[in-house]
Amino acid sequence: MQVLAFDVFGTVVDWHGSIVREMQALYPAVDANAFALAWRARYQPALARVRAGAQGWAVLDELHRAMLEEILPRFGLAHLSEAERRQLSRVWQRLDAWPDSVAGLARLKTRFIITTLSNGNIALLTRMAKRAGLPWDCVLSAESFQAYKPSPAVYRGLARVFDLPAQQLALVAAHHEDLAAARDCGLRTAYVERPLEFGASQVKDVAPQPGNGLHASCLLDLARQLGC
């Protein structure tokens, strides 16, 4: 195995906790947990519209902004200025890493090429990594292939970029549907437990499921399992 490709939102960074913290600081009257969940709830439907061709290609920064516009009135934030909306919509570039992520990636990087393989756009992933200290060797994105996961074009694109047989690549993710789609393209798969991805009010079932070659409690555990 030569390349470890990582899902990012939820797997490497804590989108729920980061958005909650930013909302509590900026708009303390808003239910930050409900706000974060409402924003993210529009994510899969928005990607599905692009995948289905109902909407032309748009990078995730644009989709996040459009989703934000849709939920602002419901949370009493219809009065936000253009600058405030833009600043808030870019919170996805300022997400904090899970506590094990930086150290885990640093260890995995000693033996493998570590790359993002995220639906986040390249600029979003680059700015996030710079702020959070994520030591990627490479930044690949849905944007690189103009297709959103779980479209096979993304996983096949990864194999084409590295000119490797699919079994030399692994996807690391906290989401079974992402891993299943990667496996359908011949990649190895590693599941990472992130029980608090949606916050403490919606604890995720992280029980092992068949099919994944590796199941890790965090990225440090994954590094240990892979001998790093």
- The angle at the Cα of 184, spanning 180 to 186, to the nearest 5 degrees, equals 115
Indicate the residue among 80 and 122 with the shorter CB distance to its own copies: 122
Per-residue x/- marks for its own copies, 49-78, CB under 8 A?
------------x-----------------
Q: Is 14 in the site for its own copies (CB under 8 A)?
A: no
Is 161 near its own copies (CB under 8 A)? Answer: yes
Under the binding rule (CB under 8 A), the answer on residue 165 touching its own copies is no
CA distances from 57 to 6, 41, 52, 60, 181 (A): 22, 20, 11, 10, 21
Position 19, amino acid = I
143 vs 197, beta carbon nearer its own copies: 143
**Is residue 138 involved in binding its own copies (CB under 8 A)?**
yes
Q: Applying CB under 8 A, which of residues 71, 106, 123, 228 lies at the interface with its own copies?
A: 123
Q: What would the DSSP string read from start to end of 3-61?
A: EEEE--BTTTB-HHHHHHHHHHHH-TTS-HHHHHHHHHHTHHHHHHHHHTTSS----HH
How many residues bind its own copies (CB under 8 A)? The answer is 20
> Which helix (DSSP H) or strand (DSSP E) does residue 115 occupy?
strand 113-118
Residues at the contact surface with its own copies, assessed by CB under 8 A? 61, 113, 115, 121-123, 125-127, 129-130, 137-140, 143-144, 161-163
